[in-house]
Amino acid sequence: MSDVLKVGAIAPEVEAAVTGVVKALEKAFNAKDAVGLSEQFARRTSWTNAMGTRLDDRETIAETSVLALKEHLRDSYAHYEVVKLMEIAPEVIAVNVAQTPTDRAGEPVEGARGAALYVIARQDDGWKIVAGQNTIVASPAT
C-alpha cells in the first residue's frame, strides 16, 4: 500500500480492519462473488453504485450484484487502493478509494477509473460499509 493520507487519530488496528474491508470487496468483485461482495456492507446501508443506483440494504446489494457481475461486469476487474482515511467519529472512518481497471491477472488496462467513498464503521458482525458512493472517472483523452 502506498502512502495513505490519515486525518484524525486512526489506530493501526483500525487502519488494518478498514483496509481489510476494501481488500475483501476488491477480491469479491474480481472473483464475481456477489455474496462475498455484499458481506462487506452493513445489514442497513446506503450504497450508490457507479451507475447512480441507490441500494439500501445488504440483501439488495447481493441481488443486484449477482446480475451485474454475470452480465455487464463479467469481464471487468479492478485494483482498489485506499488513498485517504478520515476519522468521522470513534469507530467510524471515511475511506477514499482509487479504483484502477485491470485484466483478470491484475495488470492495469485502459478504461474508466473509479473513485469511491466508503463510510466504514464497527458493527456487531465486524467492520462494514455503512454508506458510500462509487463514481466513474473517465480516462483522460490522449
For the stretch 37-72, pLDDT in tens is 999 999 999 999 999 999 999 999 999 999 999 999
Percent helix, strand and coil across the chain, each to the nearest 5: 25, 45, 30
Architecture of the domain delimited by 5-137:
Roll (3.10)
Alpha-carbon distance of 60 to 78, in angstroms, equals: 22
**Confidence bin at 138 (pLDDT 50/70/90):** confident
Query: Closest by alpha carbon to 117, among 108, 100, 130, 102?
Result: 130
CB-count exposure of residue 129 (10 Å: 0-12, 13-18, 19+) = buried
**Confidence bin at 1 (pLDDT 50/70/90):** very low
Reported residue count of the chain is 142
Q: What is the pLDDT of residue 120?
A: 98
Render pLDDT for 76-99 as a digit per residue (tens, 0 to 9).
Answer: 999 999 999 999 999 999 999 999
Q: Which pTM value belongs to this model?
A: 0.93
Q: Percent of the chain at pLDDT above 90?
A: 92
* pLDDT reading at 8 higher than 60: yes
* pLDDT reading at 142 higher than 60: no
Rounded to an integer, the average pLDDT of 103-120 is 95
Mean pLDDT of the chain: 94
Q: Where are the domains of the chain?
A: 5-137
